[in-house]
Amino acid sequence: MIPVRLNEEWSRRLALLPETSMGSQHVDVILKKGRVIKDVVIFNAEKGHSPEPFDPADIADIRLSNR
């Protein structure tokens, strides 16, 4: 897994969403070019890990995963 650290804007947005499990959210990250990275795990709406590398500056949207 690849380490991920979200910027302040995305951390604030995730903090408004419910947790998927204790202290974490399982999300799908949609990048500006349309690529979707599924099952990214974010802890405390800030840091986590991803199955694929991506630049947090390229995030267009983050949605809770349908697990």
Mind listing the pLDDT tens digit of every residue in the chain (67 residues)?
899 999 999 999 999 999 988 889 999 999 999 999 999 999 999 999 999 999 999 999 999 998 6
The answer to whether the beta carbons of residues 51 and 39 sit under 8 Å apart is yes
pTM (predicted TM-score) = 0.90
- The CA distance from 8 to 52, in Å, is 21
- The CA distance from 58 to 50, in Å, is 14
Q: Phi and psi at residue 25, in whole multiples of 5°?
A: -130, 135
- The CA distance from 21 to 50, in Å, is 16
**How distant is the alpha carbon of residue 60 from its chain centre?**
11
